[in-house]
């Protein structure tokens, strides 16, 4: 301890020895009231802290529930994204097949049209020859009828 502190401690002890009991009692009562006020303040602070702690725990539980919901949604979104990517790959494969199919269809259509022209040509020729024969017969019948 320093010299000044020692001196003050001695003077305090001397004051306590020399002081009257009434002064000591008033001082003790003042200290007691200060202590009670401090105790009430501390109890109020403790109640505020407990309320804040309960609010914080409620918020923490809400946050954990939200986090679990978010994780479930994220897993659903990832599953949907994988399904969409698989569908996109299937669509791209089908799209690559479309031009080949279109060319095959056009070749088949040209073959069908050639076959149809082959089939229809003999019919046309046959019907024309039938008409000519019919006209010739009609002419010959008319000549016979004429005197």
Spatial distance between the Cα atoms of 17 and 11, rounded to a whole number of angstroms: 10
The fraction of the chain above a pLDDT of 70, given in percent, is: 78
- Is-contact 24 16, C-beta < 8 A? yes
- Is-contact 48 56, C-beta < 8 A? no
Spatial distance between the Cα atoms of 51 and 146, rounded to a whole number of angstroms: 133
Token duo for residue 76: 């659903």
Enter the pTM of the model: 0.43
Spatial distance between the Cα atoms of 117 and 61, rounded to a whole number of angstroms: 82
The per-residue pLDDT of the chain, averaged, comes to 84
Q: What are 40-90's pLDDT values in tens digits? A: 999 999 999 999 999 999 999 999 999 999 999 999 999 999 999 999 999
3-state SS assignment for residue 2: coil
Q: What are 86-133's pLDDT values in tens digits? A: 999 999 998 988 888 888 888 988 888 888 777 666 666 667 777 777
Domain segments of the chain: what residues? 3-145
């Amino acid at each position: 301890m320093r010299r000044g502190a020692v001196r003050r401690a001695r003077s305090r002890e001397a004051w306590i020895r020399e002081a009257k009991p009434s002064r000591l009692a008033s001082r003790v009562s003042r200290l007691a009231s200060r202590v009670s006020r401090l105790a009430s303040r501390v109890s109020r602070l403790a109640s505020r802290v407990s309320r804040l702690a309960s609010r914080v725990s409620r918020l923490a539980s809400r946050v954990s529930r939200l986090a679990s919901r978010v994780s479930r949604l994220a897993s659903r979104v990832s599953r949907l994204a994988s399904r969409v990517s698989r569908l996109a790959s299937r669509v791209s494969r089908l799209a690559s097949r479309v031009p080949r199919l279109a060319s095959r269809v056009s070749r088949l259509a040209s073959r069908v049209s050639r076959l149809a022209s082959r089939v229809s040509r003999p019919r046309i020729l046959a019907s024309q020859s039938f008409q000519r024969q019919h006209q010739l017969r009609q002419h010959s019948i008319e000549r016979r009828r004429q005197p």
